[in-house]
Amino acid sequence: MVKGGVPFSETIGPDGDAKRTKTFKDLIREVHDPGICGQCGGCVSFCYAGDLVAIEMDANGKPHYINEENCLQCGICFLICPQINILDEEIQQLFNWKPPIGSYKHIVSAKTTNPEIAKVCSDGGVVTSLLVYLLEHKLIDGAIVSVSEGPFGRKPIVATTKEKIISAAGSRFIGKSNIEELGNFTTYSQTMFALRDIKNLDMLKIAVVGTPCQIHTIRKMQYLGVMPAHVVKYTIGLFCYENFSFSVDEVEEVEETLGVKIADIKKINLKEEFIITTKDDKIKNIPLSELEKVARPACFACTDYANDFSDISVGGIGSPDGYSTTIIRNDIGQKIFSSALRNGYLEELDVGEELDRGSGLHITENGVCLSSKARKELILKFARNKRARGLATLEKLRKKSENQPQSGLEKEGEQPVNPAPTPDQKVEQLNIS
Ligand SMILES: Cc1cc2nc3c(=O)[nH]c(=O)nc-3n(C[C@H](O)[C@H](O)[C@H](O)COP(=O)(O)OP(=O)(O)OC[C@H]3O[C@@H](n4cnc5c(N)ncnc54)[C@H](O)[C@@H]3O)c2cc1C
Ligand code: SF4
Ligand code: SF4
Ligand code: SF4
């Protein structure tokens, strides 16, 4: 695909005619203006202008032109943006994707055998145990993980030791929370910046833990040959219904919704509901519908729940407490999961005897839990709901765009590579319920 030099300066349309390559200007029009930029930083991190610096993140974490004249018009930023569907068909074909959760080999519930990981992990510690297994068996030089900076703060790092990998497990927060100093709150981690830094670290084999949008971007980069995606040998994807973000000004309102002071939160988790553990070990479950006002607008336009393009996807939904629901998707995922099991890093839940055919429940040594069929149904339900919500949002944006005047980006008679909506309305102004 990459033609050498400027990779996508000219793209040929299906009829053999030259078509304009979409660039960062088009990202502004199709992603920023409708309010669905997820601020992942992918466009800025992998911009082909490199040291010339054409685009950067502004003080509010949004990408913008800093030197438009340095833009090489290569189109990479447009192609890899997770909010642009231009390469969807190619990626879906490569991964033999089927709705609603992509292709997979098995779904299991599993947990770590390491008590240190069990103490700090979100669910069953499968993600951290797999990474530790990969590192200790020299299958990776490091892993991109995200460390907690408070209950609503995450920072991506490249972890090259077992200790660092374990330090990023879970979503817990120990220590004082100084709300004024924290500025904006978000559960989203800008993993793409850590991937950019890999370029300078001389690493040849890494694993990445990420949300579906992040893994999707990595797959697009691998498809296009954008560096350094070629060093990503293992992708461990988290399930993701949505991420949250809010400003200091919204803290009081959020605390009212949560019924808890942010400074009193020890751990957060997302399964069927948003689960808070307070510092005095009380547990509060909050339905996701009550948190819609602090969900990121980008997430309403997202259709991937179960991280359909990862090697292994992990979530908490459908498993008993202390276990992670694990979708083993491909040969790579199967190989590392089986080997981690064999080498004693993980153990699978023994499904035990069936309790009641109608109820979808089983008895295990952990008590009563969902049968494998009921667990799968639950994942499918969430995946279908999220997909329907994402498609409805995109359709609303498309309809709105039909009424927008021409942007003037195209010269007369010229068609863009990927004719797409040009909405100017903010997604938050839409009724997306
Ligand atoms: C923002 C978010 C939304 C989620 N939504 C759902 C959901 O709707 N339903 C569901 O069943 N599960 C959801 N999960 C997954 C679930 O919370 C657990 O992360 C998952 O079950 C793995 O548990 P574990 O104990 O195996 O992982 P652990 O061993 O605890 O490891 C967790 C790994 O995730 C990484 N991580 C933590 N936060 C982030 C982040 N924001 N971005 C990227 N990486 C991160 C950590 O660095 C660590 O490597 C979500 C997770 C996140 C971070
Ligand atoms: S140089 Fe390429 S990647 Fe950078 S802004 Fe321009 S079109 Fe986007
Ligand atoms: S979603 Fe990411 S890649 Fe797309 S415009 Fe926003 S920051 Fe750039
Ligand atoms: S809901 Fe989608 S866009 Fe939002 S963080 Fe999750 S994967 Fe990314």
* pLDDT tens-digit series, residues 156-170: 999 999 999 999 998
* pLDDT tens-digit series, residues 32-90: 999 999 999 999 999 999 889 999 999 888 899 999 999 999 999 999 999 999 999 99
Phi, psi of 200 (to 5 degrees): -95, 0
pTM of the model: 0.90
- Measured in angstroms, how far is the CA atom of residue 244 from the centroid of ligand 1? 13
The first and second tokens of residue 250, run together, are 């919204």
C-alpha angle 124-295-429 in degrees, rounded to nearest 5:
160
* pLDDT tens-digit series, residues 279-306: 999 999 999 999 998 999 999 999 999 9
Question: Mutate which of 48, 67, 224, 418 to test ligand 2's pocket (most atoms within 8 Å of Cβ)?
Answer: 48
Ligand 4 neighbours by CB, cut-off 6 Å: 38, 188, 211-213, 240, 242-243, 296, 298-299, 302, 304
Per-residue pLDDT, 37 = 95
Please report how the helices 212-224 and 191-198 are oriented relative to each other, as an axis angle in degrees rounded to 10: 30
Please report how the helices 331-342 and 126-136 are oriented relative to each other, as an axis angle in degrees rounded to 10: 80
State the average pLDDT over residues 251-278.
Answer: 91
Phi, psi of 348 (to 5 degrees): -90, 150
Give the residue, by CA position, lying nearest to ligand 4 atom 5: 243
* Cα distance between residue 39 and residue 63, in whole Å: 7
Alpha helix (H) residue ranges in 173-211:
179-182, 191-198
Helix (H) or strand (E) holding 209: strand 206-210
- Looking at 8-17, 234-243, 263-272, 417-426, which range is the least confident one? 417-426
Please enumerate in sequence order all residues whose Cβ is within 8 A of that of 45, keeping only pairs 6 or more positions apart, or say none.
Answer: 192, 193, 195, 196
- Measured in angstroms, how far is the CA atom of residue 391 from the centroid of ligand 1? 24
Q: Measure Cα distances from 355 to 68, 198, 319, 325, 364 in Å.
A: 64, 50, 16, 20, 9
* pLDDT tens-digit series, residues 372-404: 888 999 999 999 999 999 999 999 998 887 777
State the average pLDDT over residues 246-273.
Answer: 91
* Cα distance between residue 202 and residue 198, in whole Å: 7
- DSSP line for 75-102: -HHHHH-TT--TTHHHHHHHTT--TTT-
Per-residue pLDDT, 428 = 31
Question: Mutate which of 26, 28, 31 to test ligand 3's pocket (most atoms within 8 Å of Cβ)?
Answer: 31
* pLDDT tens-digit series, residues 332-367: 999 999 999 999 999 999 766 555 556 667 766 667
- The closest ligand to the CA of 214 turns out to be 4
Residue 135: CA count within 13 A, CB half-sphere: 20
* Cα distance between residue 383 and residue 402, in whole Å: 29
* Cα distance between residue 318 and residue 357, in whole Å: 17
Closest atom of ligand 3 to 298 CA is 1
Nearest Cα residue to 274 out of 253, 249, 295: 295
Question: Mutate which of 238, 242, 347, 380 to test ligand 1's pocket (most atoms within 8 Å of Cβ)?
Answer: 238
Closest atom of ligand 2 to 74 CA is 2
- Kindly report each contact of residues 8-13 with a partner whose C-beta sits within 8 Å and lies 24 or more positions away, as own/partner: 8/74, 8/75, 8/76, 8/79, 9/72, 9/73, 9/74, 9/75, 11/75, 11/417, 13/415, 13/417
Phi, psi of 108 (to 5 degrees): -135, 165
* Cα distance between residue 85 and residue 75, in whole Å: 14
